[in-house]
């Protein structure tokens, strides 16, 4: 490998002239349609002469298991086969790659009966080159065996969610020139933009490109890295002439500097530059090009004062999210991801913990654009197994996560584990190795983990930051000694701070369950595994939790468990089978629970006025409290058209009128307020029947 000439800061005129000579030769085709699927195994399914006319016709994304899991405590975990014709007349000088965004959890890929390879792990992308496997006729047969059966070498081993099977994210056919940015390094884009030093005055970006030469002879190229602002104006560039030996994939590095950068500033201003990497021939023809988002930001965690983004205090108000949608499982569309981000932003959250595995690149991209900070995870949940096989797949899952998502500015931490300790043996060696990998791959982002126990202090010190999963008012503590009533959340946080000053305090999970069909006046704390989960209790828990969090600036972030209800096959709680009902929104995304509006009133800048217990329509008590969530003052309450007065006595946007009398039959409840010159009204109807 020889770098022959460095060309600093090509003029805009020169670069425009070079770019005008040609567009990128890279082609990215989605292979979503015309698939056939069969659940179960078949010995000759990879063969070209296998008959699949009786198989199910499907389109991607596709997954199995959700149908059973939604209604029973068992679902299919085993193999399934996908087949598809691939009409592809190969051209000389071109290279062909198949890139799978994910397959759960083991995928064996075959082309024309030949085994291309295996990928172990259900959440990261993987890629195979097929250039020398294509038939001269142009007619090819792609077959994929996917198996979501539990394997002792693949995390997760112990879970409180479902592991559905299938090709549940898109598949791509990539076509490039002989010399290209490689897609074969853990299916990464092959280009990495690292904001090494960022301030309000200057940003230094270290750029690395992994360039693959598929030909036998050396190739002369020009590597160009350029940054364009949101209007398309180029604001920084660097280039160098390079020589790439045949049949190798060397890395090349450039450094770019940008004065007075427009910073990516979370929800307030999620500004994105366009980072463009190009390979050009020596006469300026573009032979490969990749564009990535570039957000420039800097942040830190102070153990006493909390999180700072771009030098300013920035309390992280987060939610947790699973990639699970009712009647779809994991086979989410772009519209599904977009709706989730819209709901998270509507509530006023500014961060999301992507639990407990790598989520789709599409979702991370939407978070980049929305200004949502992302806690990105691998599926190292609850248990590990000893031995080199599990360690190897865990390391590869971490490398998949980091290299594939390195360029997303929304991601601010790489997670190493969730709640490992009380169900497993000594995990220290593996977790330390994973931390070394993460810090080596990306020294600009800290590692993090989520724990729920204090009796593994050495393990809890392994990540750079630590989140605590605690549920005052819901679950009893797993290690004893800590109160679990809602009003004692503050003492819980103080106790954690006293015993562990590790990088400040973060709540990685907290919350309570709620069935929107179950209601109760003055509810008592229910049993988490019981069949009675009144919506009112969830609201009480979140009101107390947020009050405690808000009053403690050393709590640099908190993440509600969970943003959405999700399917768990072996749960039967709150009167509903197969559901974790701690979501603030139902699994079908149709109903926002009362607690959603509590956070919206506290977190959002938009005017909010919401009458709680609106679904508690059939009443038996003639005297009841009326609760309103609003970020407006004062709020006026009306019952059956009569004003019961205005109130400004809100605590954390909670207004309560005590012992309001209901009349027999229908009662019309209405609240009014004004905020930002906007008149707000909300109303509902309650029916009082039977004895008080």
Q: Is pLDDT above 70 for 8? A: no
Mind telling me the catalytic residues? Answer: 419
Measured in Å, how far apart are the chain's first and last C-alpha atoms?
86
Q: In CATH terms, are 2-24+188-294 and 313-606 the same topology? A: no
Fold assignment, 618-688: Immunoglobulin-like (2.60.40)
| Superfamily of 313-606 according to CATH | Glycosidases (3.20.20.80)
Q: Are 256 and 195 in contact (CB under 8 A)?
A: no
pLDDT digits (tens, 9 = 90+) for 509-518: 999 999 999 9
Is residue 644 a contact partner of residue 594, using CB atoms and an 8 Å limit? no
Q: Where are the domains of the chain?
A: 2-24+188-294, 31-176, 313-606, 618-688
Instruction: Classify residue 65 as left (phi > 0), alpha (psi -120 to 50) or beta.
Output: left
Over residues 393-402, mean pLDDT: 98
Range from 153-157, 456-460, 479-483, 532-536 carrying the lowest mean pLDDT: 479-483
Whether pLDDT at 232 is above 50:
yes
- Reply yes or no on whether the pLDDT at 5 is more than 50: no
Question: Has this prediction a pTM greater than 0.75?
Answer: yes
The highest-level CATH class for domain 2-24+188-294 is mainly beta
pLDDT, tens digit, for every residue of 453-503? Answer: 877 778 889 999 999 999 999 998 765 555 579 999 999 999 888 776 566
Q: Which helix (H) or strand (E) holds 12?
A: helix 12-20
Q: What is the dihedral of CA 508, 513, 519, 522, to 10 degrees?
A: -50
What the block records as the tokens of 137 is: 């006729």
Bridge partners (DSSP) listed for residue 683: 670
Q: What percent of the chain has pLDDT over 90?
A: 89
Percentage of the chain exceeding pLDDT 70: 94
Query: Are the C-beta atoms of residues 217 and 209 closer than 8 Å to each other?
Result: no
**How many Cβ atoms from other residues are within 10 Å of residue 408's Cβ?**
20
Q: What's the sign of the alpha-carbon dihedral 159, 164, 167, 169?
A: negative
Burial class (CB in 10 A: 0-12, 13-18, 19+), 642: exposed
Among 460, 545, 450, smallest CA distance to 499 is for: 460
**For the chain, how many residues are written?**
692
Q: What is the pLDDT of residues 46-99, one digit of tens each?
A: 999 999 999 999 999 999 999 999 999 899 999 999 999 999 988 999 999 999
Class of domain 31-176: mainly beta
Please return the burial class of 466, using the count of CB atoms within 10 Å of its CB with bins 0-12, 13-18 and 19+. Answer: buried
Beta carbons within 8 Å of 248's beta carbon, 6+ residues apart: 1, 212, 213
């Amino acid at each position: 490998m020889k770098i022959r000439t460095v060309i600093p800061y090509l003029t805009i005129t020169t670069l425009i002239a070079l770019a005008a000579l040609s567009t990128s030769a890279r082609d990215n085709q989605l292979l979503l349609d015309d698939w056939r699927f069969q659940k179960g195994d078949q010995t000759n399914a990879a063969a070209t002469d296998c008959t699949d006319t009786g198989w199910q016709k499907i389109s991607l994304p596709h997954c199995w298991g959700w149908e059973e899991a939604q209604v029973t405590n068992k679902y299919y975990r085993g193999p399934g086969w996908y087949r598809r014709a691939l009409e592809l007349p190969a051209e000389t000088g071109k290279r062909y790659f198949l890139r799978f965004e994910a397959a759960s959890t083991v995928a064996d890929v075959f082309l024309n009966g030949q085994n291309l390879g295996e990928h172990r792990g259900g959440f990261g992308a993987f890629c195979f080159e097929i250039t020398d496997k294509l038939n001269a006729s142009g007619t090819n047969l792609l077959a994929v065996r996917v198996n979501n059966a539990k394997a002792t070498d693949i995390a997760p081993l112990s879970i409180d969610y479902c592991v559905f099977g299938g090709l549940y994210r898109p598949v791509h056919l990539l076509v490039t020139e002989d010399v290209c940015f490689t897609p074969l390094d853990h299916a990464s884009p092959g280009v990495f933009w690292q904001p090494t030093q960022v301030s309000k005055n200057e940003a230094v970006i270290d750029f690395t490109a992994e360039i693959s030469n598929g030909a036998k002879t050396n190739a002369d190229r020009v590597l160009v890295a350029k940054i364009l602002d949101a209007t398309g104006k180029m604001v920084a560039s660097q280039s160098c002439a390079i020589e790439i030996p045949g049949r190798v994939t060397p890395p090349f590095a450039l450094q770019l500097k940008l004065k007075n950068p427009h910073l990516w500033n979370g929800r307030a201003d999620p500004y994105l530059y366009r980072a463009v990497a190009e390979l050009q021939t020596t006469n300026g023809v573009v032979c490969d090009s990749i564009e990535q988002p570039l957000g420039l930001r800097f942040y830190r965690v102070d153990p006493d004062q909390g999180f700072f983004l771009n030098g300013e205090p920035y309390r992280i108000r987060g939610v947790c999210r699973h990639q699970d949608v009712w009647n779809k499982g994991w086979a989410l569309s772009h519209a599904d991801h977009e709706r989730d981000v819209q709901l998270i932003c509507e509530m006023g959250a500014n961060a999301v913990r992507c639990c407990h595995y790598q989520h789709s690149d599409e979702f991370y991209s939407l978070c980049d654009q929305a200004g949502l900070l992302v806690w990105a995870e691998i599926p190292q949940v609850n248990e590990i197994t000893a031995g080199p096989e599990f360690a190897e797949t865990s390391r590869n899952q971490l490398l998949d996560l980091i290299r594939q998502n390195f360029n997303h500015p929304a991601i601010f931490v790489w997670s190493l584990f969730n709640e490992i300790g009380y169900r497993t043996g000594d995990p220290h060696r593996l977790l330390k190795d994973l931390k070394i990998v993460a810090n080596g791959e990306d020294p600009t982002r800290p590692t993090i983990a989520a724990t729920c126990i204090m009796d593994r202090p050495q393990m809890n010190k392994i990540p750079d930051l630590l989140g605590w999963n605690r549920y005052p008012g819901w679950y009893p503590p797993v290690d004893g000694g800590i109160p679990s009533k809602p009003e004692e959340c503050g003492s819980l946080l103080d106790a954690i701070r006293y015993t562990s000053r590790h990088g400040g305090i973060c709540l990685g999970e907290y919350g309570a369950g709620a069935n929107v069909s179950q209601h109760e006046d003055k509810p008592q704390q229910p049993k988490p595994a019981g069949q009675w989960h009144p919506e009112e209790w969830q609201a009480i828990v979140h009101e107390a939790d947020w009050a405690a969090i808000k009053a403690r600036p050393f709590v640099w972030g908190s993440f509600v468990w969970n943003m959405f209800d999700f399917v768990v096959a072996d749960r039967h709680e709150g009167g509903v089978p197969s559901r974790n009902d701690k979501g603030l929104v139902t699994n079908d995304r149709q109903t926002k629970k009362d607690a959603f509006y509590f956070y919206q009133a506290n977190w959002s800048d938009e005017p909010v006025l919401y009458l709680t217990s609106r679904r508690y329509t059939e009443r038996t008590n003639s005297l009841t409290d009326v609760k309103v969530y609003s970020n407006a003052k004062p709020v006026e309450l009306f019952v059956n058209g009569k004003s019961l007065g205005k109130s400004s006595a809100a605590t954390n946007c909670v207004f309560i009128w005590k012992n309001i009398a209901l009349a027999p039959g229908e009662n019309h409840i209405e609240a009014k307020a004004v905020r930002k010159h906007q008149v707000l009204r909300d109303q509902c109807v309650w029916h009082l029947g039977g004895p008080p």
